[in-house]
Amino acid sequence: MSMNTQGRPTRPGEADGAFHPKTFTGNRGLDMEEPLIFEFGSLETTGVDLDEDDDVDFELGGHRRQDEIGLPGLAEPEAMRHYVRLSRNNYAIDSGLYPLGSCTMKHNPRLNEKMARLPGFGDIHPLQPVSSVPGALELIDELAHWLMVSTHMSAIAMSPKAGAHGELCGMMAIKAAHTAAGRDPKIVLVPESAHGTNPATAALLGYKVVSIGAKDDGTVDLDALKATAEEHTGNIAGIMLTNPNTCGLFERDIKLIADLIHAADAYFYCDGANFNAIVGKARPGDLGVDAMHINLHKTFSTPHGGGGPGSGPVVLSERLAPFAPLPFIRKTDKGLELVETTSATTEGEQPFGRMTAFHGQMGMYVRALSYMMSHGSDGLKQASEDAVLNANYIRVGLQDLMSLPFGERPCMHEVLFDDSFLKDTGVTTLDFAKAMIDEGYHPMTMYFPLVVHGAMLIEPTESESRAALDLFIATMRDLVMSAKRGETDRFSGAPYLAPRRRLDETAAARKPVLKWTEPEPAEVSPAAAE
Amino acid sequence: MRYLPLNDTDRSDMLARVGVKSIDDLFADIPENVRLNGLLDLPKRASEMEVERRLSAMAAKNTSAGSVPFFVGAGAYKHHVPATVDHLIQRSEFLTSYTPYQPEITQGTLQYLFEFQTQVARLTAMDVANASMYDGSTGTGEAVLMAHRITRRNKAVLSGGLHPQYRAVVEGLSSMAGDKVVSLPADPTGTEDILSQIDDETSCVVVQSPSFYGQLIDLKPIAEKAHAHKALLIAVFTEVVSLGLIEPPGTQGADIVVGEGQSIGNGLNFGGPYVGLFATRQQYVRQMPGRLCGETVDAEGKRGFVLTLSTREQHIRRDKATSNICTNSGLCCLAFTIHMSLLGQAGLTKLARVNHGNAVKLKKLLGGIHGVEVLNSAYFNEFTIALPKLAGDVVERLAERGILGGLPVSRLEPDNKDIANLLVVASTEVNTDEDRAAFADALKEALA
């Protein structure tokens, strides 16, 4: 044991019978326990000073609120401390590698934040006169241009608010196109490996979802697709296919799939969640895609923000272009025009309706364009290449110890392992993931896609340095060896070192507590009250 | 490229480690005839300075709300957001995290979502609120679908006071899904007869209060009639600040409450990102769309929070899910929660009073102008005036004089000539007496 000059141990845990103090506050140094605002805020307090209002002559009819709202207020320093303390219980890209497959957790440049906060973008109203916002139309049109060139598609619907909303938009355009052609097909084909949003979207529009199986190599089974297409001839609206797929593989038969779908009078919806793998390397418009959403918060790095806001513009093929929803920007000799209502449409424009009030996620458009301009054509291509290289580097660093369900072939921007390497270790995929938390990593995506057992989908993105990848690989190898050695304690109770130990999700769902309520006052006996 | 840590030495070493000769070997699955060899036809990389220069030039062409007397509302409102809010939401740990799939290391996000849900439930006087929708309009679409699931009917009745673009969202979704919608004609004064539209086939009645035109609506008789026919009342609002002063939909019998939360914590942003508030009664919680955060304990018995009732959601239930929503409005929820925590009910009530007081002052000023008629008897911070001229032309005249003076209804309802002279105006806490006087003067001139 090493001692300092006072004879005290220099490192905790080296002393015999290491002392773990039980603190009075429950805090552990910088790791602070923080109550809910309802438990320490006061109904009298406010952290906002407003100019004194004159006596108001209320004109509320009989609609004035009678009861108390029950919202505590915090003075500014209290609010600052509360939310700073909460923030410290979060893992984030800025604090470590975040290999959450399918989510593209890449660096979020702060230039983008700064640009989105320019008053000329952040402080303009969606319904102020169009003549007072020419720069806003210019920005949307410029981003639309970058997205259409990147995908080689004919048109774009900018307004969808996130990926799933983009899927809905694309499928509505497809439905509108069928209706315009006098068709009413009832079926949408969705591969087994698809994101849950795909079948959920199709079902929202009343479609029946027919699942398509995968081949042993993780890609769509073309023969099964052919057979299904024949079985349902004339009744297929389209296919919803992710490419690169959720196994991290590019669908090699994509052109054949597109041809098959088009021959069936159906449309090809591509889920663009994994576009980060191929920007500048291939264009969906060359692959036979009819519609694809682009997750600006993934590929183009508008931040994930703890679960949104996202933005999901949808690029459309020539066949679907007329059906793009309101609003859209029309280019004329006189400049850019904002088309907001059907009465402003001209020949050839048959918008299927409107996805949302206003014009979509302007704040995200600014960030995405700032990101794309910063990269340029060369940087976008380089980013995709680095993302793919990083994923493959992890693959070869782990493939001898972990199990690749589809063999040792190159992957795209994410690498999928299954849990067969954990067989007979007594460690589950979930346990393994929770042990990563103790090592300071956010776990990968688990149990998705559904086509492999105990899936672990790792997406490092291009934002990681080689040193960061080396440490991640070394850590994962240590964990695997540990599992194989039967050190189950390291896994079964993990995480040990996070702000919370494993949380009981079953109890949460069994008796849901979805808001704070005042605790019942403890019963006080008359004797004790005296 | 400043965002990419790998250098060329790293890249060649790593390719060797991977066992391929060139990066293109890793893209070999892309059919050769569609693989791009050159670059996309776009400009090359740009420095931070250059990007800032180009985007700032675009931004400078727009008239920002804070730079002029500003009176546009109609679903998005110019409010003052305390500096603390924007600082806190840019904390890395909030900004660059994602959906809290791993609760042990995302308690920060989960706890503010729990606070958010509680705040929204209390504001609306409902039992439960979810962890947000994209915005008020898409939330309204989801509310109608939810009502159809609960009632097993498929006819929605939409009030003529509903925001026209909200109506368009509901109509679009419904027509695609094969559901029925009865949309009542524009109702600036809140005098439509919606009760007679409710029958035994009705799934839900959708009523906005304050309405798109600013009118406060008594929801109680509508709730009663709806419930008598086993239909649901969906109450919509676009101005959440109003709940600081007016009776909440929950105490008026609403079954689902959906609204736009932008006013608290979030800027105008030309229409997005915003935050949809969504609340309902306890008995309908399992039919709700979107994420829910719930309380639980960890292995040591400490309180913690998790996403819960996920079996409603797309990633578990796929085509049987209650909605396809995944990513929602996380960071906008946080902005809302922080701003609302700063306000508290004391601050919110006062903020609401200032808003209403400013609208009353504006109404008196504008109502005193020859030829201007105020259409609303009871309102919050927004009302509708009828002008002797086309409102669209008047607004352009005002803009030329540097005043953004409300929304001409004709912009959203161009086909309805009866309302071509109507202007919806809002006055929030940001407006001064000078702003209002300038507006009134300019309007007088524009009408002269």
User: Between A359, A362, A514, which is nearest B128 by CB?
Assistant: A514
Q: What is the mean pLDDT of residues A374-397?
A: 98
Question: Is pLDDT above 90 for A56?
Answer: no
Q: Determine, for residues A505 and B137 on separate chains, whether the beta-carbon distance falls below 8 Å.
A: no
Q: B18–A65: do the CB atoms touch at under 8 Å?
A: no
| Average pLDDT score over residue span A515-525 | 81
pTM of this prediction?
0.96
Instruction: Indicate which of B134, B353, B363 best probes the interface with A, i.e. most A CBs within 10 Å of its own CB.
Output: B134
Mean pLDDT across B23-42 = 96
Indicate the range of A54-63, A262-271, B239-248, B271-280 predicted with least confidence: A54-63
Residue B288 forms part of a structural domain: yes
Phi-psi region of A479 (alpha: psi -120 to 50; beta: other; left: phi over 0): alpha
- For residues A59-76, average pLDDT: 95
- Structural domain of B87: 83-338
Residues B173 and B255 in one domain: yes
* Per-residue pLDDT at A127: 98
Instruction: Check residues A286 and B322 and name the one with the higher pLDDT.
Output: A286
Judge contact between B96 and A304, C-beta under 8 A. Answer: yes
pLDDT tens digits, one per residue of B244-255: 999 999 999 999
Please indicate, yes or no, if residue B442 is contained in any of the structural domains: yes
Is B46 among the domain residues? no
What is the model's pLDDT at position A529? 46
Interface of A with B in 336-355 (CB under 8 A): 340-341, 343-344, 352-355
| Residues forming CATH 3.40.640.10 domain(s) in chain A | 113-371
Residue A530 pLDDT greater than 70, yes or no: no
Q: How far is B431 from chain A (nearest CA, A)?
A: 11
Region B179-197 average pLDDT? 98
DSSP per-residue string spanning A299-368: TT----TTT------EEE-TTTGGGPPBPEEEEETTEEEEE-SGGG--TT-----BSSSTTS-HHHHHHH
How far off is chain A from B193, nearest CA to CA, in Å? 19
Considering the domain architecture, whether residues B397 and B281 belong to the same structural domain is answered as no
When pLDDT is averaged across residues A90-95 and rounded to a whole number, the result is 97
What pLDDT is recorded for position A21? 82
- CB proximity list for A393: less than 8 A, separation 6 or greater: A466, A469, A473, B14, B17, B18
**Are B134 and B215 members of one domain?**
yes
pLDDT digits (tens, 9 = 90+) for A370-385: 999 999 999 999 999 9
Q: Mean pLDDT throughout A97-113?
A: 97
Q: Determine the residue among B20, B96, B291, B375 to mutate to test chain A binding: the one whose Cβ has the most chain A Cβ atoms within 10 Å.
A: B96
Ranges of CATH 3.90.1150.10 domains, chain A: 377-497
Domain match, B76 and B88 both: no
B315 confidence band (pLDDT: 50, 70, 90):
confident
The whole-angstrom separation of Cα A429 and Cα A101 is 15
Determine, yes or no, domain membership for B330: yes
Does B388 touch chain A if contact means CB atoms closer than 8 Å? Answer: no
- For residue A410, list chain B residues with Cβ-Cβ distance below 8 A: 18, 20, 25-26, 28-29
Tokens, residue B72: 């546009």
Instruction: Compute the radius of gyration of chain B from its Cα atoms.
Output: 25
Are A307 and B66 an interchain contact pair (Cβ–Cβ within 8 Å)?
no
Residue B410 has pLDDT above 70, yes or no: yes
Q: Which residue from B minimizes the CA distance to A92?
A: B97
SS3 A371: helix
Chain B segment 311-370 residues within 8 A of A by beta carbon are 311, 313-321, 323-332, 334, 338, 340-351, 353-354, 356-357, 360, 363
- Residues B117, B300: contact at Cβ < 8 Å? no
Cβ contact, residue pair A131, B267, below 8 Å: no
∠ CA B109-A503-B108 to the nearest 5 degrees? Answer: 15
Same domain, B400 and B434: yes
Domain A113-371: which topology? Answer: Aspartate Aminotransferase; domain 2 (3.40.640)
Least CB-CB distance to B245: which of A64, A163, A252?
A64
In which band, very low, low, confident or very high, does the pLDDT at A14 lie, cut at 50, 70 and 90? very low
Reported residue count of chain A is: 530
Is B191 an 8 Å CB contact of chain A? no
- Is the pLDDT at A15 greater than 70? The verdict is no
Instruction: Report the number of distinct structural domains present in chain B.
Output: 2
How far away is chain A from the Cα of B104, in angstroms, using its nearest Cα? 5
Which of B338, B371, B386 is a domain's end point? B338
State residue B312's pLDDT score: 85
Q: Do A195 and B315 touch (CB under 8 A)?
A: yes
The residue among B119, B177, B47 whose CA lies nearest residue B339 is B119
Verify that B146 and B167 share a domain, yes or no: yes
Confidence at residue A509, expressed as pLDDT on a 0 to 100 scale: 94
What pLDDT shows up at residue A6? 60
Q: Confirm if A103 and A459 have CB atoms less than 8 A apart.
A: yes
Q: Mutate which of B88, B104, B312 to disrupt the A interface (most A C-beta within 10 Å)? A: B104
Query: What 3-state DSSP class applies to A15?
Result: coil
Quote the pLDDT of residue A8. 57
Interface of A with B in 311-330 (CB under 8 A): 311, 325-326
> Measured between CB atoms, does B220 come within 8 Å of chain A?
no
Under CATH, what is the fold of the domain A377-497?
A: Aspartate Aminotransferase, domain 1 (3.90.1150)
Is B301 an interface residue toward A (CB < 8 Å)? no
A303-312, A513-522, B126-135, B211-220: which has the minimum mean pLDDT?
A513-522
Residues B250, B129: one domain? yes
- CATH code for the domain in which residue B239 is found: 3.40.640.10
On whether residue B59 sits in a domain, the answer given is no
Which of the listed residues B305, B320, B338 is the one where a domain comes to its end? Answer: B338
Do both B316 and B421 map to the same domain?
Answer: no
Q: Residue A387's Cα: distance from chain center in Å?
A: 17
Q: What residues pair up with A337 in beta bridges, in sequence order?
A: A330
Cα–Cα distance between A220 and A236 in angstroms, integer? 17
Confidence band, pLDDT 50/70/90 cuts, at residue B317: confident
Residue B67 DSSP label: G
Q: Which two tokens stand for residue A108?
A: 């979020």
**Residues B136 and B125 occupy one common structural domain:** yes
Name every residue whose Cβ is closer than 8 Å to that of residue A94 and which is 6 or more positions away in sequence.
Answer: A108, B92, B93, B95, B96
Q: Is residue B40 part of a domain?
A: no
Q: Which of B338, B365, B380 is the last residue of a domain?
A: B338
Contact A165 B134 (CB under 8 A): yes
Domain assignment of residue B352, yes or no: yes
Same domain, B319 and B352: no
**Banded model confidence at residue A524, pLDDT cuts 50, 70, 90:** low
pLDDT at A363 over 70: yes
Whole-angstrom distance, CA of residue A64 vs CA of residue A53:
17
- Whether B302 sits inside 8 A of A83 (CB atoms) is no
Residue A195 has pLDDT above 80, yes or no: yes
Rounded to 5 degrees, φ, ψ at B98 are -125, -175
pLDDT in tens, B33-67: 999 999 999 999 999 999 999 999 999 999 999 99
Structure tokens at A303: 């931040």
Residue B10 lies in a domain: no
Average pLDDT, chain B: 97
Q: Are residues B317 and B390 in the same domain?
A: no
B77-121 confidence digits (pLDDT tens): 999 999 999 999 999 999 999 999 999 999 999 999 999 999 999
In chain A, the percentage of residues whose pLDDT exceeds 90 is 88
Residue A525's pLDDT band, with cuts at 50, 70 and 90, is low
Residue with tokens 């602070």: A32
The pLDDT score that the predictor gives to residue A527 is 56
Residues B324 and B422 in one domain: no
Cα distance between residue A191 and residue A261, in whole Å? 14
